[in-house]
């Protein structure tokens, strides 16, 4: 199982928030995280300062070597899918095939209005734009590294039909349909299922509670990656540092995440221009075994 880290790139000063994010990405790679994800927010929605995630991830690509670079997520109905495909292809080439392109319908009605879109049409618009996007992306990016962050059963089914990975941020405790949706996705996903769980780790919780909450998550057996984020989302840099390090050192072993693939085979694949396809997570539904601590 892979381990990723997500930040919403918040703060009063955008330039400082961007610099802190670059530093956080470098530290995540040092600690052995498999992926680093940034959220898109327009006009400071929910405190987020990053409207252009691919631009910032291009800077991250120049400062890192192995860690995968994710968008969590680009609001697809507000984008021109042709333009997004071109920008994503450039970043993927620049980073040596490390882009993980996460898209979603968007949750900000004000942004939809400012972009001249109808927020109520976002799910229909996402489907239409996604079909264009998948046709234009480089094949490996379209079929292996594109993800859909969705909270609806219909969209999970649409992702399965298109061979798109699912980014699931819905807590099963609040929405019991999550596990059933993921089980159905595993059955019908074209080209092989890919599930990543996005889970908050409140900074005030003990390490033991973080481990207990993650291992008790009924969606965990369906996932090949867990993407954690500090809570609150507007947490300052020192909180991100603490959660990042604590998760890598103490939580990761209980998730069965072995750490960075920095061996000879991975290095050779990277030198050849991209991650080795055999480095993909081995995702099989499985019971989560508790380990004494």
The predicted model gives 160-177 an average pLDDT of 94
What does the block give as tokens for 266? 């991975």
What does the block give as tokens for 2? 């892979």
Beta strands in 76-194 (DSSP E): 99-104, 146-149, 165-168
Are the beta carbons of 279 and 98 closer than 8 angstroms? no
Residue 147 CA from chain centroid, whole number: 8
Burial class (CB in 10 A: 0-12, 13-18, 19+), 250: middle
Q: Check pLDDT > 50 for residue 268.
A: no
Q: What is the pLDDT of residue 257?
A: 59
DSSP code for 282: -
Are the beta carbons of 219 and 167 closer than 8 angstroms? no
Higher pLDDT, 279 or 144: 144
Please state at what angle helix 14-30 crosses helix 53-63, rounded to 10 degrees. 40
What digits encode the pLDDT tens for the residues 103-122?
999 989 999 899 999 999 99
Residue length of the chain: 293
Q: What is the pLDDT of residue 208?
A: 96
Are the beta carbons of 168 and 178 closer than 8 angstroms? yes
Q: How far is CA 163 from CA 28, 141, 144, 153, 242, in A?
A: 29, 11, 8, 15, 36
Backbone angles phi, psi at 107, to 5 degrees: -125, 15
Q: What is the pLDDT of residue 267?
A: 35
Interatomic CA distance for residues 21 and 279, integer angstroms: 26
Q: Quickly tell me which residue has 């319908």 as its tokens.
A: 105
Domain 2-279 belongs in CATH node 3.40.50.1110: no
Are the beta carbons of 88 and 141 closer than 8 angstroms? yes
What digits encode the pLDDT tens for the residues 32-58?
999 999 999 998 778 899 999 999 999
What digits encode the pLDDT tens for the residues 214-266?
999 999 999 999 999 999 999 999 999 999 999 999 999 999 854 444 333 33
Q: What is the pLDDT of residue 259?
A: 42
């Amino acid at each position: 199982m892979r381990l990723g880290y997500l930040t919403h790139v918040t703060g009063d000063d955008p330039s400082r928030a961007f610099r802190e994010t670059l530093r956080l990405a470098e530290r995540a790679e040092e600690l052995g995280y498999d992926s680093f994800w940034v959220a898109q927010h327009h006009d400071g929605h929910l405190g987020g300062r990053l409207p252009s995630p691919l631009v910032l991830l291009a800077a991250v690509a120049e400062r890192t070597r192995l860690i995968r670079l994710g968008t969590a997520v680009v609001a697809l109905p507000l984008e021109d899918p042709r333009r997004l495909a071109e920008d994503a292809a450039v970043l993927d080439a620049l980073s040596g095939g490390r882009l993980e392109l996460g898209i979603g319908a968007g949750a900000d009605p004000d942004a939809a209005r400012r972009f001249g879109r109808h927020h109520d049409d976002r799910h229909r618009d996402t489907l239409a734009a996604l079909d264009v996007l998948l046709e234009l992306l480089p094949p490996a990016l379209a079929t292996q590294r594109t993800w859909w962050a969705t909270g609806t059963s219909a969209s999970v089914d649409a992702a399965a039909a298109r061979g798109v990975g699912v980014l699931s941020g819905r807590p099963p405790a609040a929405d019991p349909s999550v596990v059933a949706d993921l089980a159905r996705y595993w059955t019908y996903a074209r080209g092989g299922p890919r599930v990543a769980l996005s889970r908050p780790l409140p900074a005030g919780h003990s390490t033991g509670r973080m481990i207990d909450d993650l291992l008790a998550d009924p969606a965990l057996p369906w996932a090949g990656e867990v993407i954690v984020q500090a809570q609150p989302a507007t947490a300052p840099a020192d909180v991100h540092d603490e959660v990042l390090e604590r998760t890598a050192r103490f939580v990761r072993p209980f998730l069965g995440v072995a750490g960075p693939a920095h061996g000879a085979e991975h290095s050779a694949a990277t030198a050849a221009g991209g991650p080795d396809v055999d480095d993909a997570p081995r995702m099989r539904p499985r019971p989560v075994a508790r380990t004494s601590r």
